[in-house]
Amino acid sequence: MKDLDHCDCQLALQELLLGQDAAANLHASLSREDGSPTASHDDLAQAIAGSFAKALCLLGYRDSSAKPDGTASSKNDGRGRYKRRKSCDSWSETTPAVVDDGHAWRKYGQKKIQYSDFPRSYFRCTHKSDQNCQAVKQVQQISEDPPSHRTTYYGHHTCKNASDPNRFILPEEETTFKLVYSDGEVPRNTVDKPSFQSTFPTKFQSG
């Protein structure tokens, strides 16, 4: 069990709630198989699995496959100055297909990984320069026959264009299932120390 700070707990709670929400969507979608479904069952199931995986990772019950560093080296000369900063800011999820998480990503690299048959792609937030959003992710195919892709996220979005994480709920269903956050806005975009303590659990008031 790792040390949990407030940020971890709140993010984990978010993910659990999102998973619950996605499960509700899936249930609704399954129980109305006469009409055209608004979201594929696969996507919803992936959303559920992803949310619980993130939550478990945040709570320290899963390895987030993090890199052991924390150094921010600097050299004014050339390229390649990089490195992630905190291992606890990363999590990964594995899905049969690459899913759109609702954020605007821009690919900035691709590498062949030694013990992997498939290359790894590197993405950063499109708003890295506009809004100094530090979110990056890596996507790598793991297997082909049972299609499997692993997406590893580093850092969270701080850009305002970040669409809500309930994106897998299509607009038609949104009015029915949308999570309502404290102020109608997801409190995820405070980088390190968000200061909402009591606002978060006030959702899901049936009314």
CB of 58 to DNA, least distance (A): 21
CB of 69 to DNA, least distance (A): 6
Sheet strands (E) in the chain: 90-95, 105-112, 119-125, 136-143, 148-154
Between 61 and 108, CB nearer to DNA: 108
Between 5 and 130, CB nearer to DNA: 130
DSSP H/E element including 62:
none
Q: Which of residues 145-204 bind DNA (CB under 7 A)?
A: none
- Residue 107 φ/ψ, nearest 5 degrees: -75, 135
Q: Which of residues 58-77 bind DNA (CB under 7 A)?
A: 67-69, 71, 73, 75, 77
Q: Which of 129, 112, 130 has its CA nearest to residue 121?
A: 112
When asked if residue 86 is in the footprint of DNA (CB under 7 A), the reply is no
Q: Which of residues 97-156 bind DNA (CB under 7 A)?
A: 104-115, 120, 122, 124, 126, 136, 138
Question: What's the token pair of residue 140?
Answer: 């790598």
